[in-house]
Amino acid sequence: MVKIDEYDFPDDLYYTSDHLWIRVEDGKFRVGLNDFGAKAAGKILIVRLKPTNSRIEAKKPFGTIESAKWVSGLTLPFTCTITEVNETLKKKPSLINEDPYNQGWMVVVKPEDVNAALKTLYHGESLIHWAAEDIKKRLKK
């Protein structure tokens, strides 16, 4: 586990610059909002996700989240197809805040090119450097 300030980043996951986490599962990626993203958003009130079998172009939204603070599009840096959607979030979007790395997952996607997709993500040493700098910038420390 990597801890930056009070935010947890499990070191077996990959991360996007938009604070999404990715768990690689048999050539598919389970995706959720990381601890920093969940805390920065405040209480998540609404989650809208595109349906299963939707093809999502790189950097185009696969859904949105809404909190009392803001509405944000959810994007991935690679092209993929949604293979599974966490329907529980429709009734209980706060799972993203309560359990971001487990029950709060949003979608499972199949990237068009797994190896190319992994190269767009932060992991290991690049995670530590990126997360520390990004959190500092976002919190203006």
- What are the pLDDT digits (tens) for 39-95? 999 999 999 999 999 999 999 999 999 998 889 999 999 999 999 999 999 999 999
CA distance 124 to 110: 22
CATH number at residue 87: 2.40.50.100
pLDDT of residue 141: 57
pTM for the full predicted model = 0.94
Kindly report the length of the chain.
141
Domains held by the chain: number: 1
User: Which domain covers residue 91, as residue numbers?
Assistant: 2-139
| Among candidate residues 93, 109, 106, 91, the one with its CA nearest the CA of residue 54 | 109
